[in-house]
Structure 1
Amino acid sequence: MALLLNADLIESARLLQRSLYKILLNSACPDAQVHAASIDQAQWTTKHLWDESNALPRCLLPDLSQAVDAAPRTHEDLDAVIGALSPLLPHLTWIKRQAQAGQDDSFVQRHRHGMITGPAGLFECPSLTLGLALMAPQTCYPFHQHPPAEFYLVLSPGEWYREDVGWWSPGAGGIVFNPPSCIHAMRSMNVPLLALWGLIH
C-alpha cells in the first residue's frame, strides 16, 4: 500500500532537520560545523514511495522499540530528534547491506537502514542521504569505506571504529565523524544499536 505523506509527517521531518542542525552546530568537533551547514541548507522534497514490503522485519521490531525507548533525551534538541523520528519510523523503507567478499555475513539479517532522505528515502534530497542504522545485539557491521563524508548521531550504547582512532565508545548522545574514504565500522554490545547517520554529497 503506497503512502502519501501527510502534513504531520512533513512537519516531523522539518523538526528532525532543525533539531539535527542544532545538535551538530553546538558540537565541539570542528567537522560538525560543516555538517551542520549541510543539514541547514539541504532541501527535502516529499515523495510517496513507501510500500509495506519494505517494512522492518518482525524479528527486528523489538530491537527498534527497545532502542527508541532507551534513547537519550538529555537536552531539548536530542529529545526533539527522538520525537520527530517516532512518527516517521513506521513509514521508512528499511534496506540491508549485503556482505562483500571475505566478510562475515552473519550481520546481514541482523541489521537494517531506515531511509529518511535519498534514493530509497521518504524524501528526495540531492545533497544529503539520511538514514537510521539499527543492529540487533552482538552484531558487527563490517569494515567499509565510501567517498562521502559521514556523521552519526549515536542513540544507543555501542562501539565504533575509525582507522585513525581504533575502537571507542562515543556513548548515547555522542557524535561520530568519518572523513571521506576512511575505513570505519561499528558494533552493538548487549543491547541494540541505533544511530542516525548522514552522508554529505
Structure 2
Amino acid sequence: MMSSTEEVAWDQDIARSGDVLKRSLQNVLSCSVRDEAQVHVASLNAAKWTISKSAKTSNALPDFLALHLSEALRAMPRTDDDLISIRDALGTLLPHVTWINRQAQTDQDSAFVERHRHGIIAGPGGLLECSTLTLGLALMMPQTCYPYHQHPPAEFYLVLSPGDWYREDVGWWTPGVGGVVFNFPSCIHAMKSTNVPLLALWGLMH
C-alpha cells in the first residue's frame, strides 16, 4: 500500500506522462496535411482528463503479449523527438492501464482474439477519465489480422511499428512507423501485423 507521499508522486507521474503523450500526439498529427488531422488535434486539445479512481487496479497484459510489447517499444525509432517522448510516456502509463481484447463477430475468424489487446489509456474504463475521446494502444502478435470492421466515431492511428492497414476507399497499404492513419466515420477498415508485433496508438472522438 502506498503512503500519502508516494500516492502524490504517483499521481504527478501519471498526470505528467499523460500531458506529454497528448502534446506529442498533437505535434505529430499537426504535421499531417489531411483535413481530418486538424479535427483530431482539436479534439486532443479540448480533452480534459483526470486520473481514474480505480487506476491503481488494472487488468494486466498477459506475459506472452508483454514480451511483444517490450519488443515493439524497444524497436521504436530514436531519431524523432515526438516519438521518443511518446515512448517514454507510454513506459510510465502502460503498466497501469486496463487491457481488453475484442471478441470475434459471428462471421469472423476468431484466431485474432487472444493474439491482440487494447490498452485503454484515456476514456471510459481508462487510466485517465475523459468524456470527449478514447485513447488507447493496440498491440498484436506477429502474423495476426485484425478483422474488417466499422464504427460511427472518426478514428486515427499513430503507427509505432511495421504493419499493413486497410480502408475501404484505399485498399491495403503500409504507412510505415510514424505514419498516421485516419478512418472516417463508419468506414470499413482493418490492420494486420507482419513478422513483428504491430503497435499503434489510436484515438476515437465521442
TM-score normalised over the length of structure 1: 0.95
Aligned to 1:149: 154
Partners of 2:58 and 2:130 lie apart in 1 by 23
Aligned to 1:9: 14
Give the total of aligned pairs. Answer: 201
Structure 1 window deviating more from structure 2 (76-85 vs 181-190): it is 76-85
AA aligned opposite 1:34:
V
AA aligned opposite 1:65:
S
Kept in 2: contact 1:44–1:123 (CA 8 A): yes
Structure 1 window deviating more from structure 2 (57-66 vs 21-30): it is 21-30
Partners of 1:151 and 1:144 lie apart in 2 by 15
Kept in 2: contact 1:72–1:156 (CA 8 A): no
Gaps of 5+ in 1: none
Within a 5 Å distance, the mapping from 1:121-132 to structure 2 comes to 121-132=126-137
Q: Is 1:134 matched with 2:121?
A: no
Partners of 2:24 and 2:115 lie apart in 1 by 29
Q: 1:79 aligns with which of 81, 84, 90?
A: 84
Partners of 1:53 and 1:130 lie apart in 2 by 16
SS at match of 2:19: helix
Q: CA deviation at 1:52?
A: 5.4
Aligned to 1:195: 200
Q: CA deviation at 1:11?
A: 0.4
SS at match of 1:195: strand
Deviating above 3 A after TM superposition, structure 1's stretches of 4 or more consecutive aligned residues are: 50-53
Within a 5 Å distance, the mapping from 1:63-142 to structure 2 comes to 63-142=68-147
Aligned to 1:186: 191
AA aligned opposite 2:21:
L
Partners of 1:192 and 1:159 lie apart in 2 by 11
Q: Is 1:160 matched with 2:165?
A: yes
Cα-Cα RMSD: 1.7
SS at match of 2:54: coil
SS at match of 1:54: coil
AA aligned opposite 1:129:
T
TM-score normalised over the length of structure 2: 0.93
Kept in 1: contact 2:117–2:139 (CA 8 A): yes
AA aligned opposite 2:134:
T
Aligned to 1:175: 180
Kept in 2: contact 1:130–1:199 (CA 8 A): yes
Q: Percent identity?
A: 63
AA aligned opposite 2:116:
H
Q: CA deviation at 1:96?
A: 0.4
Kept in 2: contact 1:68–1:82 (CA 8 A): yes
Q: Deviations over 1:122-141 (max 9, x none)?
A: 01111110000000000000
Q: 1:26 aligns with which of 21, 28, 31?
A: 31
Kept in 1: contact 2:58–2:96 (CA 8 A): no
AA aligned opposite 1:30:
D
Q: CA deviation at 1:53?
A: 6.1
SS at match of 1:87: helix
